[in-house]
Structures are given as C-alpha cells and as structure tokens.
C-alpha cells in the first residue's frame, strides 16, 4: 500500500502544476491580446471607392478605379476582382492614402473591391464594395481552328479575329486572354501573330501523343483598344493520335514512314525534277482526296499534263501532294522526275493515304528546293526555330507579324521560296475537314 501511495503522489502534483501553468499561459495570452491591435476585429474603414460613371449608374470601364482613405488611416491592401476571378492591377501612393488602377476594367463585369486599412494606433480596418461596368458594344471576337476532331501531332491551332489589332498593347491584351492546354501531358507553347487578324499556336516541340488539347478565350469584357472590348467566344477541343512522321529524302529517293518513332515502311519515291524541286522542310497534312485531276495549266507550268491522280494527300495549298504516280514507277527510287509532288506506286500511295490524318508530319530533306515558308502555303510553322517563333508573340517578342526569311539550300543566304512548283492549284481552305479518330 505504501508503494501505491508514493507512486500516485507525484502524478497529482504534476497535474496541478500543468493546470496552473496553462492558466498562467492563458492569462498571459489574454493580456497580450488586450495590448495587440492586430488581434482586434477589423472596424468598418472609412474609405471611398470611386469610378467614372456611365449610363444607368454603372462604371465606365475606360475610366480608372480609385480608392482613398478618408479618416487619416493608411491603405495597406486593395484587391479588385471581377466575377471571372480576374484581378485589376493598381498602384498605391507613397503616403498610403490613395490607390488607383493601372489596367483597364473589363466591360460588362461585376467587380468586388476589398480594401484593408490601418489607423494611427495600428488597428485594422476593412471595407468591401461592389459595382458593375457598362457592357461593351460591338466586340472583338475570336474563332479557333481547326474544327474539333483528332489530328496529328504537328497540327497548329489557329485564332482568327473579327477585327484587326495592330497596337502592341492591344495584341498583348488579346494574346494573354487566349489559353491553350493539353492533358494528360502539358506542352510548352506560344502564339505567333501571322498578321493583324490571325494567330497560330504551336508547342516548342510536337504535341504529345493521345492528348486532349483545350483552347479557350477569356477576352469577354477585356479592353483591346479605344472602345473595343472582347466578346464571348466558343472554346475548342482537339485530340491527337500517334506521332506519324513521313521523312522524304529527295537525295536517296526514299520515304521513311515512322509511327511513334518506329519505322513501319520505306517507299521508293520520286520528287521534283530540276527547276521544279520539291520544297524542303516540315509540312503537315492538310487534306486527302482519293481522286484529283491535275493540270499543268492551273499553275502555269509549260510542260503540259492533264492527269487523273489517285490517293492524293495534300501538304501545301499551292498543290504539293504525296500521291500515286504509276507513270513514274521506273524512276521511283532512282531519279526525281515530278513537278514538285512526291510520287510513289499506287499500292504504296493507298497505304500512305490510309495511315495518315490531318496534322501528321511530312518532312522533306536533301532537296535542292527552297525551305517551305511558314504561313502562306499551308502549315510550315515548324520551319521556324523556337527562338524565331517566340519573337512572333506580343508577350515575348513584340508580335510584329514579320515572318523570318528561311534559307535556300546551297545559296548561303536567307531567301524565301519564290515559285510555285507543284502539280495542282490551291483549293479553298474552307474544305479542310477533320478525319475520324
């Protein structure tokens, strides 16, 4: 029994001491709270939230938002967001008494402004205000392309604006409101201003395989220029398939067909003869047709021909195809005898036709032709280096819409391609349609 009593006595003392210690700490914390202004509940700050008014008592989005402290307190923070979660940048005066927005408000938006202040004794104040801006009139709209569907990993995304935008600040506002993402694997990419109304988007390298690409706009209400605001536009969803690459070697007269890096087939081919050399560079499949009638007169070629052509896969709008050319089978694998197209046997052309879709990559190497231009004859976007591509962005390179010149093989100088050498005239780009997944 004595051992039991001795064993319990220290535990009682420990409990009592802990209780006294906790009581002491609580009293100390209470005393600290009494002397700590930051622990006080915020008071209703005396601040004024002002904006230029327009019709119906709504704010004019062309005018700045202003916040000022009216009771001698100092503004410590201002957060202004619209219902889409977009923040308005601003600047606080040196004395902390005034704040004004440094970015344009969105049109047709509902804003919430949260202001934090501190008085001379350090007590915090809070103020929340809301207001609406007037809606925009005729807005800037964007149409994304291509149509929804499944494409090869070389397919660029396009954005066509309803109104031209030339001002650098306006271009930056547009570009920062156009968003592209891919899942499950992300891809670093950028927009390029082809001209005042057209942008192209491509990743640094080809799109990931079997990805879902989502393109959206947050332009609605965003000020692009004087009295010009963005409108609401339809998003776009694309999918990618395998990484298909057809490497056309004009020097060895052979095409190597790869699927996700694995060589599936090699074909003997013929490409453009001297004077009609096939363009070098990376192209992407634009469309396919089982039958095309090709005529020399449509592209101004003096060598007369009028041929029915089967299993034709187009890679430029000026008429370069990969197609069946049974009339040149004796030269395929040995010599270049076409007017710019890549010719192969009917059997091989049909196999190629069946295994490619829009956006798949067709790359020509070792030709004496010029390098395919990036934008005026199909999708030659990949012929610009990543550094060149980023210079076409309004956010990273000025977005001037000036296409860099590309080298002509063997010339040692930067010259753009100067002639159309293919076998068939351009078709209407509106004919472009996605293939089945």
pLDDT < 70 stretches in the chain:
1-43, 54-56, 137-138, 295-305, 400-437
pLDDT of residue 301: 53
**Contacts for 209 with CB less than 8 Å, ≥ 6 apart:** 153, 240, 241, 242, 243, 260
pLDDT at residue 415, rounded to an integer:
28
Place of tokens 């190597």: 256
**Active site (annotated) includes residue 323:** yes
* CA–CA dist 359, 350 (Å, integer): 18
User: Which one, of 333, 277, 278, 339, lies nearest residue 306 by Cα?
Assistant: 339
Overall size of the chain counted in residues: 437
pTM comes to 0.72
Q: Which pLDDT belongs to residue 413? A: 27
In angstroms, how far is CA 355 from the centroid of its own chain? 28
Report the pLDDT value the prediction gives residue 195, as an integer from 0 to 100: 95
**Residue pair 378/282 in contact by the 8 Å Cβ criterion:** no
For residue 301, give the nearest of 408, 424, 428, 418 by alpha carbon: 424
Of these residues, 200, 253, 341, 424, which one is catalytic? 341
Task: Work out the number of other CB atoms within 10 angstroms of the CB of residue 137.
Answer: 9
Using DSSP, how many helices (H) and how many strands (E) does the chain show? 4, 27
Quick check: 180 and 238 in contact, CB under 8 A? no
Q: Of 253, 323, 339, 424, which residue is the catalytic one?
A: 323
pLDDT of 2-14, one tens digit each? 343 334 444 443 4
Give the pLDDT confidence score for residue 41 in this predicted structure. 59
Report all structural domains of the chain as residue ranges with CATH numbers, in order of start.
43-132 (2.60.40.3780), 142-240 (2.60.40.3710), 244-371+412-431 (2.40.440.10)
| 32: annotated active-site residue | no
Which residues, other chains included, contact 430 with Cβ-Cβ below 8 Å and sequence gap of 6+? none
Q: Among residues 89, 90, 410, which one has the least CA distance to residue 251?
A: 410
Provide the sign of the torsion angle of the four alpha carbons 101, 103, 108, 112, taken in this order.
Answer: negative
**In this structure, what token pair is assigned to residue 39?**
């622990």
Question: In the numeric block, which tokens belong to residue 175?
Answer: 């570009």
- Contact criterion met (CB below 8 Å) for 93 and 99: yes
């Amino acid at each position: 029994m004595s051992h039991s009593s001795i064993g319990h006595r220290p535990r009682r003392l420990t409990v009592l001491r802990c209780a006294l210690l906790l009581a002491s700490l609580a009293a100390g914390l209470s005393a600290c709270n009494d002397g700590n202004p930051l622990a006080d509940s915020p008071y209703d700050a005396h601040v004024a939230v002002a904006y230029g008014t327009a019709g119906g008592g709504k704010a004019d989005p062309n005018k700045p938002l202003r916040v000022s402290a009216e009771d001698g307190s100092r503004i410590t923070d201002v957060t202004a967001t619209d219902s889409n979660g977009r923040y308005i940048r601003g600047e606080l005066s040196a004395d902390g008494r005034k704040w004004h927005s440094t970015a344009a408000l969105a049109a047709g938006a509902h804003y919430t402004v949260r202001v934090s202040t501190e008085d001379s004794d350090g007590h915090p104040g809070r103020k929340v205000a809301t207001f609406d801006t007037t809606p925009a009139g005729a807005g800037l709209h964007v149409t994304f392309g291509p149509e929804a569907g499944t494409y090869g990993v070389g397919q660029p995304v396009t954005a066509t604006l309803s109104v031209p935008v030339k001002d650098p600040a306006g271009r930056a506002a547009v570009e920062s409101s156009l968003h592209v993402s891919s899942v499950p694997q992300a891809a670093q990419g950028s927009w390029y201003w082809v001209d005042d109304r057209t942008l192209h988007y491509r990743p640094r390298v080809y799109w990931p395989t079997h990805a879902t690409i989502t393109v959206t706009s947050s332009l609605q209400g965003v000020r692009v220029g004087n009295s010009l605001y963005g409108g609401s536009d339809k998003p776009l969803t694309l999918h990618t398939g395998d990484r298909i690459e057809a490497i056309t070697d004009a020097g060895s007269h052979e095409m190597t067909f790869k699927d996700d890096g694995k060589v599936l087939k090699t074909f003997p081919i013929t490409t453009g003869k001297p004077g009609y050399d096939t363009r070098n560079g990376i192209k992407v499949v634009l469309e396919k047709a089982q039958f095309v009638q090709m005529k020399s007169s449509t592209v101004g070629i003096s060598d007369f021909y009028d041929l029915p052509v089967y299993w034709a896969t187009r890679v430029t709008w000026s008429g370069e195809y990969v197609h069946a050319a049974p009339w040149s089978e004796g030269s395929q694998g040995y010599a270049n005898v076409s007017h710019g197209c890549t010719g192969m046997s009917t059997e091989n052309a049909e196999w190629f036709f069946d295994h490619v879709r829009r956006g798949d990559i067709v790359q020509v190497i070792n030709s004496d032709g010029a390098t395919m231009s990036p934008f005026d004859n199909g999708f030659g976007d990949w012929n610009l280096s990543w550094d060149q591509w980023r210079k076409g962005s309004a956010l990273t390179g000025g977005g001037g819409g000036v296409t860099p010149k590309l080298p002509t093989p063997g010339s040692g100088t930067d010259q753009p391609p100067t002639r159309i050498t293919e076998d068939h005239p351009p078709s209407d780009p509106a004919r472009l349609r996605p293939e089945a997944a």
